[in-house]
Amino acid sequence: MLPVLAILGGCSSGKEGEVMQAESTGSAGGADSNPLAGQPIYVVPGGSAARQATLWRAQGRDEDAAAISALATRPTATWITDDRGVTGRVRSLTRRAAEAGETALLVAYYIPGRDCGSFSAGGARSAPAYRAWARAFASGLGDGRAAVILEPDAIPQAVEGCLPGAARAERYELLRFAVRALSARPSTSVYLDAGNAGWIRDSSRLVGPLHRAGIGAAAGFALNVSNYYRTDPTLSYGRTLSRRLGGTHFVIDTSRNGNGPAGEGIEGRDWCNPPGRAVGRYPSTDTGQRLADAYLWVKEPGTSDGTCRGGPPAGQWWPQNALELAATAARR
C-alpha cells in the first residue's frame, strides 16, 4: 500500500495541480456548497469513552482516565445497525441535538448482505424490509439537523465483486431508495460511502456505481470510514473522485488515521485492529478545503473492527484499544 500512498500524496503539475492547489487553500464554502458549514456536531453524553473514564477514575487509574476523557469530549457518530425502534432512536438523538443547537451525526448500516458475511455480517432480511427500515429512519430524522453516513462499505464491496449480479443491482437500487428517503428530510445531509484510498484504487470504477446508488440526490460521499488512511492522501483521492462526479463534496473519517494504515508489515488483516494506530484530526466542519465538508469521527475510537488480534466482536467497545489510540496520539 505504501507505493499507492506515495502516488496519491505526491505533487501534481499542470492544470490538475493548479486545481488541487486552489482547492487546498480555499476555505469551506457557505451553506450553498457545504451544508455542514458552521454547524457544531452533537456530542452524545455518556458515551463509551465517558463511562470508561468514570470507571477508571473510581479504580484510581487517573492517567488512563484523563487520556480517555480526551476522546469523550469529541463528537462521534451513532450507528443504527438493526431494526429495533429505529424511528424512536433516531428521533431521540436528533431532538437532543436540536435542543443543543447542534447537528446529529448518524450512520445508517443495515443493507441486506451487509459486510458480505464478514465480521459485521447482518442487515435487513429482504429488500422490502430494508425499504421499511429506511422509511422508519427518515421518519425519525424529522426536521432536525443531521448528517447521515449511508452504508459503509456497501458500494466498494459490490464493485470488487462480493455480490452476484442480481444482488449487486438490488443493492444499488436500495441505496438509491435510502438516499432519496433520507435526503427528503429538510435538514438532513446524506453522504454515500465510497470506501477508502487503498481499496478501489482506480476511483473511476466507483463513478457508475455511485450514480446508480443515487449520489446525485445526496450531499456527497464519505471516505475512510472505519479505516486508517491519512487525511492528506484521502483528500487527494476525494478530489479525484469528486472531479469524476462533477464536483461532488465529501467528508472524511479521521477517527483513527493519525498514524496512517498499518501497512504490509502487519501480519494478516492490516485493517482489523492493527496495533500502533492513533486518532487523527479532531472533528470539524471547517476543513479549509473547498470540497471537503467535514472531518468526522464516524467510527468511535475504541470500538473493535472484529474478532482479530484479541478484539471483541465488531462494533463492541474495547477499552485497551481506545487507550492505545489516545496515548499514541498524545505522544505524536
- Structure-block grid coordinates of residue 291: 470540497
CA-CA distance, 312 to 320, in Å (whole number)? Answer: 11
Residues 6+ apart with CB under 8 A from 243: 19
What is the number of other CB atoms lying within 10 angstroms of the CB of residue 193? 28
Residue 125 neighbours by CB under 8 Å, 6+ apart: 112
Q: Collapsing DSSP states into helix, strand and coil, what is residue 232?
A: helix
Residue of 153, 193, 253, 293 with catalytic role: 153
200 with 236: CB under 8 angstroms? no
CB 150 within 8 A of CB 178: yes
Residues 6+ apart with CB under 8 A from 298: 76, 77, 105, 107, 149, 152, 222, 225, 226, 253, 255
Annotated catalytic residue, options 64, 115, 193, 293: 115
Sign, Cα dihedral of 303, 307, 313, 317: negative
For residue 238, what is the DSSP state?
Answer: H
Contact (CB, 8 A) for 326 and 301 = yes
Write down the catalytic residue from 64, 193, 253, 305.
Answer: 305
Nearest to 257 by CA among 306, 223, 292: 223
User: Which residue reads 436540536 in cell numbers?
Assistant: 98
* d(C-alpha 189, C-alpha 170), whole Å: 23
**Is residue 153 among the annotated active site residues?**
yes
Q: Which residues contact 250 (CB under 8 A, 6 or more apart)?
A: 191, 194, 220, 221, 222, 223, 238, 241, 242, 291, 292, 293
Phi first, then psi: give them for residue 207, nearest 5 degrees. -65, -55
The amino acid occupying position 56 is W
Active site residues: 115, 153, 305
